[in-house]
Structure 1
Amino acid sequence: MEKTLVIIKPDGVKRHLVGKIIQRFEEKGLVITALKMETLTLSLLEEHYNHLVTRPFFSELVDYMTSGPVVILILTGENAIEIVRKMVGTTNPLQAEIGSIRGQYGLSHTENVIHASDSTAAAQAEIQRFFK
């Protein structure tokens, strides 16, 4: 069984999409093995988005990600990472497939509702980061 990390971002929480998003994962056969709600800190986001710190949009991203609570969950299942990534869709909702979570609910490149680990290594590091 494979594990992956998902974050339902502040816009998803504010827009009351948490239940709908979680339901989609459960209907796909994925199992929630951990779940929590919290407001992220600057230090945690600097660690999580370390690869983006020098990008011009980093401060906007941090402001957005600290603007309200997020829901963080670990999903487990066969090929969980690949399945979740396909369900989530590409980062830009305008380019995401219709029917994907971002394609259906995303509003912009920044307010795209959800984060999902993109590889086994990322999933392991992100699970450790958010569920110490």
Structure 2
Amino acid sequence: MARTASAPSHEGQIERPAGQRVIDLVHLARQTLGDRGLEHEVLRIFDQGAKTYLLRLRNAQSPDEIKLALHSLKGASAGVGANGIAGLAVAAEAEFRDTGAVADETVADIGFAVEEVHLFIAELLQD
């Protein structure tokens, strides 16, 4: 699917208040009723799912595929408290509605955020 390059890049930076983690662990704990084992399982599933949705976005060949990948990424991210990814997906949906495309820079920013969350999850699960 053709993408435009007109949207401004975030240059790999996700704006977030100082001290805020890439995953809101309080939100996640509420979603899992404080069950640490369930939190870890949800994070493992989300980590794989986020990578899958990103790959689908990168390989999208139709408007419906782009919309579905962004919507899925947004919902999954919001569910676990990965608010940076969710916010980027919301912005990308708006960009797509406004222009009919998602800029390469936007996809790259989402990819950076997914990788950042992946590293956070890996470190969290290591402890």
Q: What TM-score results when the alignment is normalised by the length of structure 2? A: 0.32
Q: Whose helix proportion is higher, 1 or 2?
A: 2
Q: What TM-score results when the alignment is normalised by the length of structure 1? A: 0.31
Q: Which has the larger radius of gyration?
A: 2
Q: Whose strand proportion is higher, 1 or 2?
A: 1
